[in-house]
Amino acid sequence: MSLGAAREDFWQSIARSTIRERCQFIFNQKLLSDVNFVVRDSQGGSEGKKIVAHKFVLAISSPVFFAMFYGELAEAKDSVEIYDCEYESLLEMFRFIYSDEANLNPDNVMQLMYLAKKYMLPSLVDKCSAYLQKNLNASNVFHVLPAAQKYEEKDLLDHCWKVIEKDSEEAVKSDGFVAVERSVLEELIEKDSLNIEEVELFKAIDCWARKGCEKKDLVAEGSVKRRILGERIVKGIRFPVMKEKEFVGVVLDCDILTKKECFDMMKYFNAFLSIPEGFSGAKRAGHLNIMSRFGSLNKGWAYPHGSFSSIYVTVDKDIKLHAVRFFGSDNNEYSVSLAVKNASGDAVATKTGKFLSKLVQSEMGTDYPGFEIVFEPPIALKGNWRYVCIAFIKGPSSWYGQSGQSSVEHTGVKFLFSRYYDCWYGKNEVEMGQFFEFVFTVD
């Protein structure tokens, strides 16, 4: 026997000491194979592509394959045609069965989850779910959410809603939003925790209604759009929390509301009527509030070797602090160490890193170069407790605020600012300096 033949005969023991390694070796190989799967080619081939496999390996991994090959109604044929998936996805499922590995990517993960559910491979379902959660964002969440609902993947579904609640405005402007079922829209519209201005949510819903009209080849008139939406969605839009200018400039032109509803809303905006019947006047709690405390802005705040900025902050209600905004200069990077401490000097949050300054739209309506330091999860600040914010900032000369207010009320929360000063923590920042805007939600 030649050396080559010997190696061929003893492939099981040459550098393949585990059953996993030996299964990997025979994956999609004719060696010992006893079944072929014929599946459509994603590239458009007319004859389909073939995957060779081993009934025993498939059967010990999947109850479905066990029944197919060894059950009471098992078929004796050695070729199986698959019509509900593409070649690449089925191949990756088999790769997982043979090796516990799968090359997941955005193009195959949804079909792999479908196959994993169909052939009862829970570990592959978990792998797909973990991949989707890791790569989930506002731009793709409405593509993933329907699958999470269909396959009853609770963890994935919960994660989808968290992304939607956190980045609501970006999510409803994504391509996937206009394709969701009305039931998803009904659930969305009733959530208090959405982080979006009501007028922007209305624009997205109107866009969804227009797309619905297109699908049914209907003219996108107000009454037709309303019928497409249904009363649950229309009544779920919180028109009373909009500004009158937004309502007049956006909502009236869409013609979704009845004449009486429009009249009642105008009476409400002009204080002739309380909240119109059937509509909520409660602002969504998840909407991020941005409190600005400076009256004007200027240039020339220098950090020659880095410097401290600090300020006392007190709020009269419990809030969640999501972020603090600082000034910068155009497209420059700043090294920042930020600490928020309670009255006892204990740090409730710290954040260190490098932050790129970019143009920010402030609540004042003024664009300024700056950056945002985000707290994840947001910090819980208790009402009537005093906290100190201390930041060490190093970078190029930046903008700064002037005419700072020591007391600012925003959305029913009063912020009080006072001087914090010692030899380590720099200058008085109440009247001028950094700590421009505080991003928060009310507990």
Q: Which fold has domain 141-269?
A: 1.25.40
Question: If pLDDT is split at 50, 70 and 90, which confidence band does 14 have?
Answer: low
Whether pLDDT at 427 is above 70: no
Q: What is the DSSP secondary-structure string of 192-207?
A: TT--S-HHHHHHHHHH
**pLDDT mean over 266-288:** 85
> By the 8 A CB rule, do 434 and 391 touch?
yes
As its CATH architecture, domain 289-442 has: Sandwich (2.60)
Residue 423: the pLDDT is 43
Instruction: Give the CA angle between residues 182, 186, 191 to the nearest 5°.
Output: 145
Banded pLDDT at 11 (limits 50, 70, 90): low
CATH 3.90.1150.10 corresponds to the domain 13-134: no
pTM of the model: 0.65
CA atoms of 154 and 325, how far apart (whole Å) = 35
pLDDT tier for residue 4 given thresholds of 50, 70 and 90: very low
pLDDT category, 10, cuts 50, 70, 90? low
Record the tokens describing residue 79, joined without a space. Answer: 């070729």
Name which of 241, 237, 213 is nearest 225 in CA terms. 213
Domain boundaries, the chain: 13-134, 141-269, 289-442
